[in-house]
A = this chain, B = another copy of it.
Amino acid sequence: MNDETVRRPLEGLKVLDLGHVYQVPYAGFLLAMAGADVVKVEPPDGEPLRARILVSGGASFPMIMLNASKRSMAIDLKSDDGRALFLELVAEADVLLENFSPGVMDKLGLGADSLLEANPRLIYASGTGYGLSGPDRDALAMDLTIQATSGMMGSTGEADRMPLKAGPAITDFLSGTHVYGGIMTALYDRERTGKGTRVEVAMIEAAYPALASNLGVYYGDRTKTQPRNGNHHGGNAIAPYTVFETSDGYVAIICVTDRHWDHLTVAMGREELMRDERFKDNKSRVAHIDQTDAIVAEWTGGRTRHEVMEAAREFRFPAAPVRGLDEVVADAHMHERGAIFDVEHPQLGTIALTSSPIRLGNIPPLQASDLSELDADRDAIIADWLGR
């Protein structure tokens, strides 16, 4: 389905991807989507996500989605033979990615210092939870624990209930995307200096900027150390701004301007609210936020989600359906753009995989769907990279 004659920006680039699970494999996925030859180096029993497929069907999909674009080679880095072969590949590589715990690669004799000495043009990228230095360097890092320590969890949920994690593994993907950006920055720099370098991204540091609005609210009122506000505006400065129940699901409705509100009142057949002192402008609505929400909720409650969205289009107020994953994977828009695409999987049935969210010029999105079996590409890689 992909046009082989298309030239992609990273063609010819050789990548050793030692990543596991989501964070660094996602960076390797973005490199592969941009045209690089990404070799997924796995331990003899496969990376943890591949191993998990055997115990849980849930791991199949992420493994295929993030790695179908890569070639697989199993190497036991703890054996002398394995390390020797690996070092031969390192000598040819442009980029190495890994997200082992800090110190693991050093103990194997494969740390950045020694590999950069062996191959001074190498970009050696490490994704970690807390970074390669500092007092928390060795603290346990998984998406859940970083959501807890970074402040993301404290900012998610309802004010009178427990803090909640964001459902998706966002600190993994946010930091993995930074790893990709860091590698590209280092590759660009190598064009000038001729030299490789080390790239480092810590999950907790990649999470911090994303808390911009929450930190803004915190610094506005430091007595609220956990500014959880459910689906409402973080700063309680806009109303209506939340999720409403319809007869068959939920919709998000946001009136950023008073004109949006005026349109909504017409849609609701409640034009008198435009002139009501309690609701006529955003400041008044925020002061009467419970009543404002109740008025909108009463209206949405008697309608289907589709009816609310039709009204939003007709009367022009901002609204969005809260979609289930069944709708997301069938999204006509992303399918038309080639951002996601269906493939048949023997166990899972039809699944929607993703191409890169990054588009350059008119280059069509690359769509990879065949996950290599563990070690399946060993001979081809040795032939291509080492010429034997």
Residues in B with CB closer than 8 Å to A65 are 209, 212, 215
**Across the interface, do B326 and A222 meet the contact criterion of CB distance under 8 Å?**
yes
Residues in B with CB closer than 8 Å to A226 are 324-325
CB proximity to B under 8 Å, residues A354-382 = 354, 357-361
**Across the interface, do A359 and B209 meet the contact criterion of CB distance under 8 Å?**
no
Report A119 CB to chain B, min CB distance, Å.
Answer: 15
Residues in B with CB closer than 8 Å to A163 are 243, 250, 322
Q: Which one of A39-47, A82-90, A272-280, A333-341 contacts B?
A: A333-341
**Across the interface, do A185 and B237 meet the contact criterion of CB distance under 8 Å?**
no
Task: Kindly list 14 other residue pairs between chains A and B, CB separation below 8 angstroms, not including A165-B243, A225-B326.
Answer: A58-B217, A58-B219, A58-B220, A145-B319, A148-B251, A153-B252, A157-B164, A167-B227, A198-B359, A198-B361, A200-B360, A202-B337, A202-B357, A205-B340
A29 to B178, CA, bound (A): 13
Which 8 residue pairs spanning A and B have beta carbons closest together? A155-B167, A166-B166, A225-B324, A184-B184, A145-B320, A9-B189, A62-B212, A173-B210
A206 to B210, CA, bound (A): 15
Report A6 CB to chain B, min CB distance, Å.
Answer: 13
Q: Which one of A69-77, A102-110, A126-134, A262-270 contacts B?
A: A126-134
Task: Confirm or deny: A175 has a beta carbon within 8 angstroms of a beta carbon on chain B.
Answer: yes
**Across the interface, do A61 and B154 meet the contact criterion of CB distance under 8 Å?**
no
Task: Confirm or deny: A135 has a beta carbon within 8 angstroms of a beta carbon on chain B.
Answer: yes
Residues in B with CB closer than 8 Å to A135 are 332-333, 336
Task: Confirm or deny: A301 has a beta carbon within 8 angstroms of a beta carbon on chain B.
Answer: no
Q: Is the interface of A mostly helix, strand, loop or mixed?
A: mixed
Task: Confirm or deny: A318 has a beta carbon within 8 angstroms of a beta carbon on chain B.
Answer: yes
Task: Confirm or deny: A182 has a beta carbon within 8 angstroms of a beta carbon on chain B.
Answer: yes
Report A225 CB to chain B, min CB distance, Å.
Answer: 3
Task: Confirm or deny: A59 has a beta carbon within 8 angstroms of a beta carbon on chain B.
Answer: yes
- With A58-B235, A177-B181, A185-B360 already in contact, the answer to whether A254 and B144 are too (CB < 8 A) is yes
**Across the interface, do A208 and B151 meet the contact criterion of CB distance under 8 Å?**
no
Report A164 CB to chain B, min CB distance, Å.
Answer: 6
Question: A23-52, CB under 8 A of B: which get 1 and which 0?
Answer: 000100110001000000000000000000
Task: Confirm or deny: A197 has a beta carbon within 8 angstroms of a beta carbon on chain B.
Answer: yes
CB proximity to B under 8 Å, residues A223-270 = 225-231, 234-235, 237, 241, 243, 245, 250-252, 254, 256
Residues in B with CB closer than 8 Å to A149 are 320-323, 328
Residues in B with CB closer than 8 Å to A66 are 209, 212
Question: A122-160, CB under 8 A of B: which get 1 and which 0?
Answer: 000000001101111101101011111111111111100
A319 to B149, CA, bound (A): 10
Residues in B with CB closer than 8 Å to A148 are 243, 250-252, 320-323
User: Could you list some 30 contacts between A and B, CB below 8 A?
Assistant: A29-B209, A58-B217, A60-B216, A60-B220, A61-B216, A65-B215, A133-B336, A134-B333, A149-B328, A156-B156, A164-B243, A168-B211, A168-B214, A173-B212, A174-B210, A178-B357, A178-B358, A184-B188, A185-B358, A187-B188, A188-B188, A197-B361, A199-B358, A200-B358, A208-B334, A209-B354, A209-B357, A218-B325, A220-B348, A227-B325
Q: Which of A149, A165, A202, A349 has the most CB of B within 10 A?
A: A165
Report A152 CB to chain B, min CB distance, Å.
Answer: 6
**Across the interface, do A153 and B322 meet the contact criterion of CB distance under 8 Å?**
yes
Task: Confirm or deny: A204 has a beta carbon within 8 angstroms of a beta carbon on chain B.
Answer: yes
